[in-house]
Amino acid sequence: MYGGPVVSLLLYGVIIATRYVLGISDILMYIISLLPTYCIAWLAMKGYDAASLRMKAVIAVLACALIKLVTFTTYLITKGQLYLLTNNPMETIATYVFQSFILVMGVLIIEFMRRYSRIQDEVVNTERMKLVSEIAASVAHEIRNPLTSVRGFIQLLGTKELTPEKKEQYKAICFAELDRAEGIISDYLSLARNDLEVIEEIDLNAELGYMFNLLLNYANFNNIRLHVSYYEESKLAVMGDRHKFRQVLLNIGKNAIEAMPNGGDLSLELSKQAGTAVIRIADTGIGMSADQVKRLGTPYYSTKDKGTGLGTMVSFNIVKKMGGMIHIDSEPGKGTTFVLQFQNISI
């Protein structure tokens, strides 16, 4: 349930090896009887992570009981010994109850450890955010005015020693660096003011269309094919700050385009799953390693050479303020998928 399909196959291998060492009479028939139950395990995995604690315990117990029942029934039928399954019903029931108890305890321990780990991560991130917000509030305001003044003086640049071509070249370089500095300052200020200023109903289909039109020219310029898929069954909306929500989509969308230097496909998709609104932003770019994904959204970490990571960090906080979650699935060389999930939806 927690390790996934690959780990499950390995565990099946351990079971078969154990039976072989214990000297089962017909190991080949046991393997044939056992392997079809992998479908039961695979079906139990679907939706397991999203289930409640009580439901996880129920799923684990039922899956275990079904796997044993199907395996032993099939095996004993082929051996003509089905009577062994019901020969001592009280002992069989006691075994099932004891193993179910062990399973439930295992689920509780694992869930406790996972929850404890998440709480630790949240505490660390909260302290980090507090520190960054204090720095942003004190530093950003002091830097903005001098940079704006420098920009004005650069426009007046005009010495006789410089050729017109050199002047234009230097001016372009200075403006590019100043624009980058302005972007960093804006990110700092966003960290200092990350509360939602206006709470309103946001039509997700409309916002997806707005973002599609906004990114279209940038995508075409970078040889990116842009695709959009709306939720057409009904209106799908969430509550939050429309402008900050657009900032999140724009930040993720631009990063996705910049992650495809040789062109590719960028997909925007809106769907509804289990009572939640889900936005998927998927690219076919360079992708990220597991370590890079884990560090994404932390201060001063970026996969871009001249990035600060603050834009992504701000996006993560905005989504969290709106009661949502961000999940990232990425693989080097195969692209990245951002999944934004919101629970407080209206239709």
CATH number for the domain that contains residue 320? 3.30.565.10
**211 and 184 share a domain?**
no
Could you tell me if 180 and 300 lie in one domain?
Answer: no
Number of structural domains (the chain) is 3
335 and 222 in one domain? Answer: yes
The answer to the question of residue 114 being in a domain is no
According to the model, what pLDDT value does residue 195 have?
A: 60
Query: 19 and 82: one domain?
Result: yes
Do residues 38 and 9 lie in contact, with contact meaning Cβ atoms separated by under 8 Å?
A: yes
269 and 185 in one domain?
no
What confidence score (pLDDT) does residue 145 get? 53
- 129 in a domain, yes or no? no
Q: Whole domain around residue 288: which residue ranges?
A: 199-343
Residue 104 domain-assigned (yes or no): no
- The enclosing domain of 146 has a CATH number of 1.10.287.130
Q: In whole angstroms, what is the distance from residue 66 CA to residue 260 CA?
A: 47
How far, in Å, CA of 155 to CA of 150, rounded? 9
**Among 92-106, 181-195, 217-231, 320-334, which stretch is predicted with the lowest mean pLDDT?**
181-195
Query: Same structural domain for residues 238 and 315?
Result: yes
Q: Are residues 149 and 183 in the same domain?
A: yes
Residue 289 has pLDDT above 60, yes or no: yes
Handedness of CA 126, 256, 311, 199 (dihedral sign): negative
Q: Has residue 133 been placed in a domain?
A: no
The model's confidence at residue 184, banded by pLDDT at 50, 70 and 90, is low
Task: Give the list of residues 6+ apart from residue 184 with CB closer than 8 angstroms, or none.
Answer: 308, 310
Position 207 in a domain: yes
Q: Mean pLDDT, the chain, as a whole number?
A: 82
Residues 240 and 285 grouped into a single domain: yes
Check whether residue 45 and residue 76 sit in a common domain.
yes
**pLDDT value at 339 more than 90:** yes
Q: Which among 323, 317, 316 has a CA at the least distance from the CA of 202?
A: 323
Question: Do residues 73 and 168 share a domain?
Answer: no
